[in-house]
Amino acid sequence: MRRVLEDEQYQVSIQQEGRGAFTQVKTQLPDLLILDLRLGDISGQDVLKQLKNDAVTAEIPVIIYTAAVLEAEEVTRLISDNPEHYQSVHVVQKPFELDSLLTLVQQVLNEPVI
């Protein structure tokens, strides 16, 4: 995933642990966050809630990816229960084609899809 995004000239920063993710996002203020729901030390869903509940990071679009069907359903339900709060959140379920992810990234960032 990183290689595909970097090949398209996106600057990529990776955070391996969930606990530091919120602080890193708040410090760097990326244009987009791609978030796995399965993080070793904290739930990706908890990170998402932190981001969307903070005025500084609330507007950052998020693409969530996961292989866990139940977790994907929980996040989808969270989004549908409060669509305005989570309007810039997209859920992608593994496995997915990297080209599809790249297209979604371009759409979320309002870039022309190639």
Digit-coded pLDDT (tens) for 10-20: 999 888 777 88
Residue 34 contacts residue 1 (beta carbons within 8 Å): yes
Residues 19-39 pLDDT 10s: 888 889 999 999 999 998 887
- Give me the pLDDT at residue 100, please: 93
Q: Looking at the predicted structure, is the pLDDT value of residue 89 above 70?
A: yes
**What is the per-residue pLDDT for 88?**
92
User: Residue 101: which residues within 8 A CB-CB, separation 6 or more?
Assistant: 1, 4, 34, 63, 65, 92
Cα(35)–Cα(66) distance, integer angstroms: 9
Distance CA 43, CA 105 (A): 22
- Domain boundaries defined on the chain: 2-108
Of 38 and 74, more confident: 74
What's the CATH code, domain 2-108? 3.40.50.2300
